[in-house]
Chain A
Amino acid sequence: MASGELGRTAALDGRLFRALFIDACSLLQRHIPALNAINVFPVPDGDTGTNMHLTLRAGIEELARSESDGLSAVAHGLAHGTLMGARGNSGVILSQVLRGFAEGLNGAERADGPALARAFANASRAAYGALSEPIEGTILTVARMTAEALASRPPETADEALAKASSAAREAVERTPELLPVLKEAGVVDAGGLGLAIIVEGLSRSLRGESLDVDLAPPGAVEAGWRSEAASLHRLDHGESGYCTEFMVAGEQLEAAAIREHLAALGSSLLIVGNSKLLRVHLHTTHPDGALAYGRGLGEISQVKVDNLEAQIRQWAADEPAPPVSATLDVVAVAAGEGIELTFRSVGVTHLVEGGQTMNPSAGEILEAIEACAANQVVVLPNNKNIVAAARQAAERSSKQVVVVPSRTVPQGIAAVLALSPDLPFEATVEAMERALTSLRSAEVTRAVRATTIDGRRIGMGQAIGIVEGKLTVVADDVASALRGCLEHMLSPEASLLTLYSGRDVRDEDAEALVAELRESYPGLEIDLVWGDQPHYPYLLSLE
């Protein structure tokens, strides 16, 4: 800690100035994870804390190299170091703030209250001057409101001035969500602004000899930052299996870096925020017990939450259907099964008509869906060869511009939707979707409901059959064998991805076990298991 000078300090000299900033830098360092967590503006890349700290540290390192103890020289040395070491937007602005601050102290040997008020005023001006389009609700606002608080009636002493600056900065931080909607939306305060407030508070605390072992991040803000970051970790976790594991751990001297290293080995999507006494952990792992046991070894754990990841992702997809890919084009798809519907919606299908092999929807039902579309241009995906004709009929009867892209299977329909481009003209999009139909091979596995003969092959009741590209190809005693038979038939040297859609009557663990076996048999294939929930067909599969 810097100050042995308890009580009132009237003015700062160069040595004291240096010591205060060293303490402010260490206070900032404590808050790196919290600042990173709430960083949503200008881009939510979670590096504001890191950048501000590295920038200020570069200034401190410059001070360590310099010989002079004169106040003006020290302030300029600090500013120069941060200028050369500035990282990221927040770092660049911080370096400008410190440059302005130093210029406000030009030639001074000691800084009392009024001198600090001038320095803060100059810092604010420099920060605004550095940006072509200053935006309020950021570090700029904090610099300005701090300067304004001191401008009207500056306190006499340095000590009182820093205390006043510090509380003004904290107040300004609280106001940032009102000024910048993106902050309000995320429920956070501005990370760069908070970083500056922490630095000012560090100066003040250091001068007064107060503890630097404090957590200045508003707990609610960190919580909100945590939520939005944790949510973003789930946005695209398709194909991930295992458990989303969360807990809080309270202890002494918790070392986030070491804990991060250990937990990272247990899974993915690791997120740790907090301080040396309380950490919050988020992890996707197939061994939640291992992660929790490790947590218990660190201290007392609470708020434990373990969720099946796949179920969580399904829930997310159901709660938040993807916004349309194209503003001018809607897609109607015929589908059966909650999982198939979700999958279609997640890639950009806007309207669904229930139906499939055993339940063909009428042209009227399809027409109703077409008319319900907001867009005037509509693509219809029948996803079954027996529904193509009804879809065409519906298309003809609609007053909209409707094209049927004749997908004969669900995987073909999926491939067609993926080929949607956000800004291609209608004809080109339709062409791309039609081209996509032939980009994969698809098959269906089901059970014969009665004994029959198809294409000259006798099938006993309850036997499993595999239909490849609409043609009966495999007859086997069980579903897994029929599936393997189809796969053998479809394999080609170019194939690299197998997608399995598991049906309504298939248990998750059985599907996972089957996939594990297939992975062993076909090490060269990537296998994606998707919960389809389709009736009658234990598995739909596609190979591409």
Chain B
Amino acid sequence: MSVFQKLRRLISRAEEPSEAASAPRLVRVVTDSTADLPAEEAAELGITVVPLQVIFGEEVFRDGVDLSGEEFFRRLEGAHELPRTSQPSLGEFQRVFEELAQETDNILAIHLSSGFSGTAETARQAAQSPAGHCRIEVIDSGTVSMALGFAVLAAARAARWGADLDTCAANARSVLERQRLAVALDTLEYLRRGGRIGRAQAFLGGLLRLKPILTVRDGGAYPLTRVRTHRKALDEMLRICVEWGALAEAAVMYSTSIDDARYVAAEIGRRCPGIPIHVGRIGPVIGVHGGPGLVGITVVVAEDAAPSPPAQEHPA
């Protein structure tokens, strides 16, 4: 499918951009650094990426701005104490919205799951403070990484073609309904040290070395299955990915092992020929809990393929 066809499909519900004299100002799309969007793509589509903060001891970095993913994981592996991550400040969101309000009357902000971070809540608070006439809609994506990123891209592409705020939001929500995500952890060390075992406790505890495969559901991390070797984890994840049905696009995310990511991407390509597959590094917010060796798959299920996840098809 050509880029043009793809764009047209994505904005199928959008009004064609009118050449009328009173050309409305384009909707602007905002997200945060956990979407793991490639910088060039974000820039090209005019997406504003608000960085979360990564804190090593007393050193504070802006995710993706003054700390690259590569540098983050290098530091993580050597760190005595786990780094912390923190949502962007309310002031930062207010500044971003005020600046964008100079250029647009409509802002769509799509953020990582409120189950992981207060970012969406903070964006919502900032959206309440008066930014003139500007309408700001905030979506809590309920997910993270490229599963969020795909929704942001869909909204931004629609915005680029002149779609209104509701249409951009509808496109994003459509992708959010069709996204699936699975992450294979190579170590539980970081999850444990971060105190984030939570409801996966029963599943992950034990006397054996386990490699869990997790997904994000209802806004939080949720165990899918567990195996004992890294290779099995990758293969199991691929099996799960195929079970999701026909795919529209996919992304493979990794923390430190690009070779694993390439292997997984090649396998997805072999099993689902013709779909675009993006390979990228996962950001610190997930990376700090997933640790080194993490590999994840996020996909968008094709619109015509029955999109409900297996667990809902057959209630257990």
Chain A residues within CB distance 8 Å of chain B:
43-47, 50-51, 54, 80, 83-89, 91-92, 95, 130, 132, 229, 232-233, 235-236, 238-239, 257, 260-261, 264, 270, 313-314, 317, 322-326, 328, 342-343, 346-348, 414-415, 418-419, 421-426, 428, 432, 439, 494, 496-497, 499, 526, 528, 530, 544
Contact = CB atoms under 8 A, between A and B. Distances in A.
Interface stretch (B101-109, B146-154, B229-237, B245-253): B229-237
A323 to B, nearest CB: 4
B58 A54 contact: yes
Contacts, number: 153
Instruction: Give 3 nearest A-B pairs by CB, closest first.
Output: A87-B86, A346-B206, A84-B91
Contact of B232 (A50, A328, A425, A544): A544
Nearest to A237: B192
B269 to A, nearest CB: 22
A232 B89 contact: no
B314 A428 contact: yes
Contacts of A346: 205-208
Contacts of A132: 121, 124
A418 B80 contact: no
Given A50-B55, A235-B201, A323-B202, A496 B207 contact: no
B90 A45 contact: no
Interface string B204-245: 111111100000000000111111111110000000000000
B33 interface: no
Contacts of A88: 84, 86-87, 118
A62 B229 CA distance: 51
B195 A322 contact: no
B291 to A, nearest CB: 13
B125 interface: yes
A439 B231 CA distance: 11
A414 B311 contact: no
Give the most central of A50, A85, A229, A236: most B CB within 10 Å.
A236
B316 interface: yes
Contacts of A414: 208
A6 to B, nearest CB: 34
B205 A322 contact: yes
B316 A328 contact: yes
A195 to B, nearest CB: 15
B122 interface: yes
Given A46-B195, A236-B192, A343-B207, A425 B84 contact: no
B307 interface: no
A80 B91 contact: yes
B313 to A, nearest CB: 9
A45 B84 contact: yes
A422 B195 CA distance: 21
Given A261-B80, A421-B225, A45 B194 contact: yes
13 contacts: A45-B194, A54-B58, A86-B91, A87-B60, A89-B118, A91-B86, A236-B188, A346-B205, A422-B223, A424-B316, A425-B315, A497-B229, A544-B228
Nearest to A89: B118
B92 interface: yes
A416 B102 CA distance: 60
Nearest to A263: B80
Contacts of B226: 418
A443 B193 CA distance: 35
Given A51-B84, A322-B202, A92 B90 contact: yes
A46 B194 CA distance: 8
Given A238-B209, A260-B80, A232 B192 contact: yes
B13 interface: no
Given A92-B90, A544-B229, A322 B208 contact: no
Contact of A83 (B91, B118, B124): B91
A92 B118 contact: yes
A275 B31 CA distance: 41
Interface in B37-78: 53, 55, 57-58, 60
A43 B196 contact: yes
B197 interface: yes
Contacts of B91: 80, 83-84, 86
Given A95-B89, A236-B204, A324-B202, A87 B53 contact: yes
Contact of A439 (B205, B208, B232): B232
Nearest to B243: A428
A341 B211 CA distance: 21
Given A88-B86, A92-B90, A235 B209 contact: no
B210 A418 contact: yes
Contacts of B229: 496-497, 526, 544
Contact of A325 (B86, B118, B203, B209): B203
Nearest to B94: A83
B310 interface: yes
A419 to B, nearest CB: 6
A31 to B, nearest CB: 15
B87 A92 contact: yes
